[in-house]
Every structure is written in structure tokens, then in C-alpha cells.
Amino acid sequence: MSDPVAREAGLRRELTSGQLTMIAIGGAIGTGLFLGSSIAIPLAGPGVIVAYGAGAVIAMLMTVALADLAVRHPAAGSFGVHAEIYQGPWAGFTVRWSYWFAQVIQIGGEVVASSLYARFWLPEVPLWAFVLLFSGIVVGVNAMHVGAFGTFEYWFAMIKVVAIVLFILFGLAILLGLRTTPASVPGAAGYRPFAPFGLVGIWLALPVVMFSYLGTEIVAVTAGEARDPERAIPRALRATVGRLILFYVVAMGLLLALVPWRAVGTDKSPFVRVFEMMGIPAAATVMNFVVLTAALSSINTNLYLTSRMLFSLARGGGAPAVFGRLGARGTPVAALLASTAGMGVAAIVSKLIPSDAFLFLFGLAIFGGLYVWAQIFVTHLRFLAGKGGAQGHGGTGAREGSAARPPQWRFGASLLGLLLMVAVIVTTWWIPGMRVTLQAGIPWLAFLTLAWWATRRRAAAR
């Protein structure tokens, strides 16, 4: 089938705008904030707040570009389909496979993080046992029809949204003297010096911070199952980014005002450490439950994403046809089961290197996410320039009334976003423990190029 959007027909359009927003928040607010922040803070000190602000700017630029593309071409393959239409088959192939791989590995990292949280209560239980338990739970949820999944994820994500809001209110009450604690808090003194490692430290923290914003693009992936993508997608993207900026920047500022940044470690969430250091064990237990549900929610959403991306690849001939088949409930079951591979990797890694499992998986996963964001900007630039789709698939798959061209000032915004993303990817080389991002990422793209070439040759020979 020549139309990249039409060939993905069969998925059920049951997701509402509210569900789209909460699914995106569910995928974005996870270990990137609750545990990944423990990697970013030591790199920049209190200046990490600036890094979160810079990450927010990049995220806003990305959502502007993605909204234009997703409204024009609502499909489960999303930015993979867009890249195919406006850049060509190679771009569509590498974007979808890179995103699938990144999310599969991220699922593994999230499962490891969930297991670390669970050991807060049961430290004697081996890490791999929790990995298997949580893996079984989220696979069961994803096997349900998409409407049930959307409802489940809506309330699952709501837990962490409410928790962050309460954390912000609780922190403000302490800093304003409305509530006393058993232990003193550093207050403004916790920001001295604000940038102990200068601008270099803030910039080095940015790639780690970007991991917290990765997941915003989830809204576009749900376009193939959204009830009214033309209205729901832009609305959900704006709502998601706005809430993430509020949660991340404000929550991080309060976190650093409540606990000395030098006391932050990677053995547990900094948010849990806040309550422990203030001598409030019951609150620490509640917060640990929250970060556990946050990680499980992120796993749940990312498993949804990977199954749809593999489904899109199969429908486009870039993966075995079996992954493009839908079950009785409208769910790509085979693609779902294949996307659990990251959980198996997590179980093995957590068994072999339990102390470094999260950082290792984190470094592997981040390349694919950053590469996809960079390609979204490239695709949008070609879309604005009238390349690719404008000559071939310009109106294909677009909703009625969505064909109006966006204003040309967005060209400069996407160009800026692309340059920033390239700089962020290159910067990972100088971050301790994250060289694996480029060490694995560049060979991965070379491997995908060979695989794409082999796939094209095989298709031509038929």
C-alpha cells in the first residue's frame, strides 16, 4: 500500500484528549525526574534548574513542529511515518527502529528503577525478582483493548501528578514557615554557590535533563487511536509541555531548597531522600510508593509506544508481517510481546551488575530518543520547505481542513531546535558513565542502514 498513513488502518480510535494528555504525562514523568535527577544534580548543582528550563525550551520547539506534522498525518507510526513521507524510506526506517529500540531499553531501565523502589520496603528480595513481577503486570494491562488501557493510564498518571502538586505545596509550606520539621532545611543557603561547576556543568546536565522531557512526543504516536486527532493532538501537546515545565522547574527548585544538593545520590529517589532527611519516615514511604507507581506508569506507556511503533514498521515492510497483525481487541499482540525484550535485558543486567544497571540502561536508551527528536526537527524543516510530502503525500492521511500551511517563522524555530539537539547528543561523550550513548548509538545507525539496504534489496528481488 503506497499511502504510509492508510496502511496502518485497523487500530481503534477510542482515546480522548484528556487521556492523550495523561498518557503523555505518564510516559514523561517517570525515572527521568524521580531518579534521573539524581544524575543531573551532581553535574550542575543548583544550576540544574537552568538546565531544566533549557530543556523546556527545546521541548516546546519540538511540540510546535510535531503538532504541525501529526495533525497533517495522524498515524500510529507518527514521526516515523512523517520522516518517511518528507525525508524518504531510510529516515522512516531508522527513526522507527531507533525509537523502538530506545523505548524497549528504557522500559528495562524503568523496570530496574521500579525494583529499586520496591526494595525500599523489602531489601532482602533480589532485584531480578521484582523485575519479573512488574514486567508481568504491565504486559497484562497492555494486552487489554486501548480504551481500557487509556482509562488505566489516566488514573495511574494522575497519582504522580497529584503527588507532585502536593510535594510543591508541602515544600512551599516548609520554606514559608507554615510547617515545622524535625530537621532544619538549607533554604536559600542550599543554592550557594548556584552553579558550582559553572556553565559547563549546567550544559553537561542538559542531556540527562532531556531524558525527563523525552516522552512528550507520545501524544503523536497515539494519533492513530485518537477520536479527533486534528483538535486533540495540539491541545494535548500544549497541555503536556505546560504541565511538565511547571512540575519539573518548580519541583526541582523546591527539592534543592529542601535538601543539600551534595547529599543527592543514585541509590534512591531524591524526592524520597527529602522526607528522610527531614525525619518524616511515613511521608518517605508514601513518596516511595508514588515514585514506584510513576515508574510503572511510564513502563506501561512506553510498552504501548513500542508495540505501536513495531506495528507501524511491520505495516510498512520494515519488520516481519506478523507484528502488523491485530488481535481480537484491536491490539497488536505480537508486537507487544516482542517489545517486552527490554524487560528480559533488564533482568539479565540487574543480575550481572545490580549497582550500575540503571545508569547502563539509561545511557543506551537516551541516544534513540535524542535522535528521534532531531529527526522530528529535520522532517518539519522539509515539511515547511515543501519537500517530500508536498510533492507526493502532501494531503495523504490529513484530516479535512488541516491542509493549511503553518507560518514560516516556525522554520527558524525548528532549525534552532535541530542545532540544540545535535549539540546535546555530542555532549553525552563528556558525561561520566554516558559515553555508551555515542559508543552504541553510532554503530546502531550503521547497523540500521545495512539492514534497510538489505530489506530494500530483498523487496526489489520479489
Whether 75 shows a pLDDT value over 60: the answer reads yes
In which region does residue 198 sit, left (phi positive, over 0), alpha (psi from -120 to 50) or beta (all else)?
left
Give bridge partners of residue 15 from the DSSP assignment.
Answer: 226
Of 252, 254, 271, 270, nearest to 262 by C-alpha is 270
Instruction: Answer for the pair 372, 95: CB distance below 8 angstroms, yes or no.
Output: yes
| pLDDT (0 to 100) of residue 12 | 54
Sorted by sequence, the CB contacts under 8 Å of residue 144 that are 6+ apart come out as 152, 329, 331
Cis bond leading into 193, ω under 30°?
yes
The string of DSSP letters for 258-321 reads HS-GGG--SSS-HHHHHHHHTT-HHHHHHHHHHHHHHHHHHHHHHHHHHHHHHHHHHHTTSS-G
Question: What would the pLDDT profile of 360-381 be if each residue is shown by its tens digit?
Answer: 666 667 888 899 999 999 999 9
Whether 399 shows a pLDDT value over 50: the answer reads no
C-alpha span between 386 and 208 (Å, rounded) = 34
| pLDDT (0 to 100) of residue 27 | 61
C-alpha span between 12 and 226 (Å, rounded) = 8
C-alpha span between 453 and 459 (Å, rounded) = 10
Structure-block grid coordinates of residue 214: 523525552
Which is higher by pLDDT, 298 or 413?
Answer: 413
Determine the residue type at 136. G
| pLDDT (0 to 100) of residue 409 | 82
Whether 347 shows a pLDDT value over 90: the answer reads no
Structure-block grid coordinates of residue 104: 524497549
Structure-block grid coordinates of residue 155: 488514573
Structure-block grid coordinates of residue 145: 483493548
Sorted by sequence, the CB contacts under 8 Å of residue 302 that are 6+ apart come out as 27, 103, 106, 107, 110, 215
| Backbone CA torsion sign across 68, 13, 157, 123 | negative
Question: What would the pLDDT profile of 56-73 be if each residue is shown by its tens digit?
Answer: 899 989 988 998 898 888
Count each helix (H run) and each strand (E run) in the chain, helices first. 19, 0
Element at 217 (helix H, strand E): none
C-alpha span between 256 and 45 (Å, rounded) = 9
Average pLDDT along the chain: 78
| pLDDT (0 to 100) of residue 425 | 94
Question: What would the pLDDT profile of 103-117 be if each residue is shown by its tens digit?
Answer: 888 787 778 778 888
pLDDT over 70, % of the chain: 74
Instruction: Answer for the pair 42, 208: CB distance below 8 angstroms, yes or no.
Output: no
Residue the block writes with cell 507526493: 392
Q: How many CB atoms lie within 10 A of CB 460?
A: 7
Structure-block grid coordinates of residue 142: 497492555
**Can you give the three-state secondary structure of 17-82, one letter per residue?**
HHHHHHHHHHHHCCHHHHCCHHHHHHHHHHHHHHHHHHHHHHHHHHHHHHHHHHHHCCCCCCHHHH
Sorted by sequence, the CB contacts under 8 Å of residue 61 that are 6+ apart come out as 377, 413, 414, 416, 417, 420
Sorted by sequence, the CB contacts under 8 Å of residue 461 that are 6+ apart come out as none
- If you average pLDDT over residues 128-143, what whole number do you get? 81
Of 16, 306, 289, nearest to 142 by C-alpha is 306
Whether 53 shows a pLDDT value over 80: the answer reads yes
C-alpha span between 406 and 389 (Å, rounded) = 15
Three-state secondary structure call for residue 3 = coil
**Measured in whole angstroms, how far is the alpha carbon of residue 96 from the centre of its chain?**
14
- If you average pLDDT over residues 260-288, what whole number do you get? 71
Q: How confident is the model at residue 402 (pLDDT cuts 50, 70, 90)?
A: very low
Three-state secondary structure call for residue 392 = coil
**Can you give the three-state secondary structure of 194-210, one letter per residue?**
CCCCHHHHHHHHHHHHH
Instruction: Answer for the pair 152, 15: CB distance below 8 angstroms, yes or no.
Output: no
Structure-block grid coordinates of residue 270: 531524591
Instruction: Answer for the pair 431, 207: CB distance below 8 angstroms, yes or no.
Output: yes
Give the lowest-confidence range in 2-11, 118-127, 203-212: 2-11
Three-state secondary structure call for residue 226 = strand
Give bridge partners of residue 226 from the DSSP assignment.
Answer: 15
| pLDDT (0 to 100) of residue 355 | 63
Q: How confident is the model at residue 44 (pLDDT cuts 50, 70, 90)?
A: very high
Give bridge partners of residue 9 from the DSSP assignment.
Answer: 11
Walk me through the domains of the chain, giving residue ranges and CATH numbers.
Answer: 13-455 (1.20.1740.10)
C-alpha span between 340 and 102 (Å, rounded) = 12
| pLDDT (0 to 100) of residue 83 | 94
